[in-house]
Chain A
Amino acid sequence: AQSVTQLDSHVSVSEGTPVLLRCNYSSSYSPSLFWYVQHPNKGLQLLLKYTSAATLVKGINGFEAEFKKSETSFHLTKPSAHMSDAAEYFCVVSDPNTPLVFGKGTRLSVIA
């Protein structure tokens, strides 16, 4: 069965500095991988999606993630954090014909 591990439960960065949210996955197949974001009192929004095309995936709001099969990783990055990026981020894995499996989440705080 597939699984995903988010290595940090909380990440704190200063505004304007880079963001790195780490995610490792386990899958018996070539999985699809996603990052979702949940802002306080708002619904879940898809940031980006990897499905075996280009290994570097660009998403909304300047976020991107790189699929590294050798490291079974799918880390989320952004060059410069903005206050509006403060939210909960979920790494998600999916195998064929199975529901998406969510990580436990990483809470990103951005300090002015």
Chain B
Amino acid sequence: DGGITQSPKYLFRKEGQNVTLSCEQNLNHDAMYWYRQDPGQGLRLIYYSQIVNDFQKGDIAEGYSVSREKKESFPLTVTSAQKNPTAFYLCASSPRTGYEKLFFGSGTQLSVL
């Protein structure tokens, strides 16, 4: 089945630790995105990538990093610089940026120990 796979479903981070959230898609989409969802805040864009080996900061990129070495993969690292990392993280993809329906993964809930 085509789709987006996020792992793990739940993740716990200790103080000062970097953690990486995985996102893989087999839809052959060029564009991939990371959104953060907090109650009452909607979805806020962290980073996006329009093509392999290229990515752009979104509205809340501080404390996060990404890579796009392969078309199908767009991992997100939550660094120790992100002081409030507890949130629900959603990965999405689309054939291209803008004007397009997004295909979402099932999300990763990150909590701080």
Interface of B is mostly: loop
| A32 sits at the interface (CB 8 A) | yes
B84 to chain A, nearest CB (A): 17
Interface of chain A residues 55 through 85 with chain B (CB within 8 A): none
| A43 sits at the interface (CB 8 A) | yes
Interface size on A, residues (CB 8 A): 22
Cross-chain contact B105 with A101 (CB below 8 angstroms): no
Cross-chain contact B35 with A104 (CB below 8 angstroms): no
Whether A104 contacts B40 in the complex (CB less than 8 A), given A43-B107, A99-B58, comes out as yes
- Bitwise interface map of A from 77 to 112 toward B, beta carbon under 8 Å scored 1, else 0: 000000000000010001111111111110000000
A101, B59: Cα distance in complex, Å: 10
Cross-chain contact A104 with B99 (CB below 8 angstroms): no
| B83 sits at the interface (CB 8 A) | no
Selected interface stretch from B12-20, B21-29, B42-50, B71-79 = B42-50
Please name the residue on chain A nearest to B90 by beta carbon: A44
- Bitwise interface map of B from 32 to 71 toward A, beta carbon under 8 Å scored 1, else 0: 0101000011111100100000000010000000000000
Which B residues are CB-close (under 8 A) to A43? Answer: 104-107
Cross-chain contact A44 with B98 (CB below 8 angstroms): no
| A7 sits at the interface (CB 8 A) | no
- The residue among B45, B96, B98 with the most chain A CB atoms within 10 A of its own CB is B98
Please name the residue on chain A nearest to B97 by beta carbon: A97
8 sample A-B contacts, Cβ–Cβ < 8 Å, listed by A number: A6-B42, A9-B40, A94-B98, A94-B99, A97-B98, A99-B45, A104-B41, A104-B42
